[in-house]
Amino acid sequence: MMIDVIIDIFPKKEVLNPETEAVKKTLSNLGYKNIDELVLSKQIKLSFKNLNEEDCLYQSKLMCDQILVNTNIQDYEISLLKKD
């Protein structure tokens, strides 16, 4: 069985993100005036083989803390998708 793990990485709220502000401003210029919050995130998808769910999640978390995420400026969420 394969298990897919999706890691969403997004900037911490307290870190001013100029890229987000620029996209938001452009959307506003295009007439979309009701956007309260816009989040630009990065998604990483991992497909694991021969590993149970618990270990997939555990290894994903280790990877996030070790290299995939800079927790000074980013937060992340891990979710799991089972495939047959």
How far apart are CB 56 and other proteins at their closest, in Å? 21
Question: Per CB under 8 A, which region of 15-23, 33-41, 45-53, 56-64 contacts other proteins?
Answer: 15-23
Closest contact distance (angstroms) between CB of 23 and other proteins is 11
Minimum distance from CB of 11 to other proteins (Å)? 8
43 forms part of the interface with other proteins (CB under 8 A): no
Who's near 39: CB < 8 A, 6+ residues apart?
A: 10, 11, 20
Q: What is the sign of the dihedral through the CA atoms of 27, 32, 34 and 39?
A: negative
Q: Is the dihedral of CA 69, 70, 72, 73 positive or negative?
A: negative
Q: Report the residue number, 73 or 81, with the smaller CB distance to other proteins.
A: 73
Rounded distance between C-alpha atoms, residue 31 and residue 29, angstroms: 5
Return the residue of 29, 34, 43, 72 that touches other proteins, per CB under 8 A.
Answer: 72
